[in-house]
Amino acid sequence: MTTYRDRAEAGRMLADRLTGLIGDPDVIVLGLVRGGVPVAQVVAERLSAPLDVLVIRKLGMPWAREVAFGALGPGGVQVLNEHVASRLDADDIADTVRREQAELDRREQLYRAGRPPLDLTGRTAVIVDDGLATGATARAAVEVARQLGARRVVVAVPVGSQEAYEMLSAEADQVICAQHPVEFIAVSAYYEDFHEVTDEEVTDTLTATA
């Protein structure tokens, strides 16, 4: 098991596996907010590619918010898992969507800071996170990226569970996962420094790379 000192070190190790994308003018690196952004920053620098963020809000079951019945993305994109969502009535779905949409709008306004809406038409979207546990957010991100026009979607993470890796391999065009141990513990277990990334860190990163 490899333990990363912090997200920046994880980004450097991950970038070594993505060198085939260097020089591709269609590549854009998308950090999943918030923990994926410091990793994505390093990857974007190594690939000499633009960096942006992808805000995904999971739609959690009212009685178990960690269980997602769908997700929201920018531009009004909504992804529903019909099998799970069918267990809810319309009011429960509408209440959850309204709450999560408000938070997505807040983050989009904060992070974009006047920059144009995310447009992935014809691009190779490299979606970066600091790790995959269930893979639900990354799976939603793949669907959102496709709906935003991405021609090709690559998921790149420093560590993930075997189950999430296999699931995403069937969804994305390519999955780069530096390590996916069978006996996965939790993403935080593979980092010495796994502090909660703040809104300020995200905005500072985007300002620095603009």
Q: What is the pTM of this model?
A: 0.89
Residues 6 or more apart in contact with residue 180 via CB below 8 angstroms: 132, 159, 160, 161, 162, 164, 165
What angle in degrees, to the nearest 10, is found between the helix axes of 7-15 and 36-47?
Answer: 40
- Whether the per-residue pLDDT at 131 is higher than 90: the answer is yes
Is 1 part of a structural domain of the chain? no
| pLDDT tens digits, 153-167 | 999 999 999 988 998
122: Cβ contacts below 8 Å, ≥ 6 apart: 26, 149, 151
E strand or H helix at 127: strand 124-128
Choose among 171, 202, 2: nearest CA to 107. 202
Among residues 193, 156, 167, the alpha carbon closest in space to that of 54 is found at 156
Sign (positive/negative) of CA torsion 47, 74, 172, 163?
positive
Q: Which domain holds residue 102?
A: 57-112
> Mean pLDDT score of the chain, rounded to an integer?
91
Question: Residue 2: inside a domain, yes or no?
Answer: no
* 92 and 151 assigned to the same domain: no
For residue range 136-150, list pLDDT tens digits in order: 889 889 988 998 999
The domain that holds 82 is classified in CATH as: 3.30.1310
Pair (130, 163) in one structural domain: yes
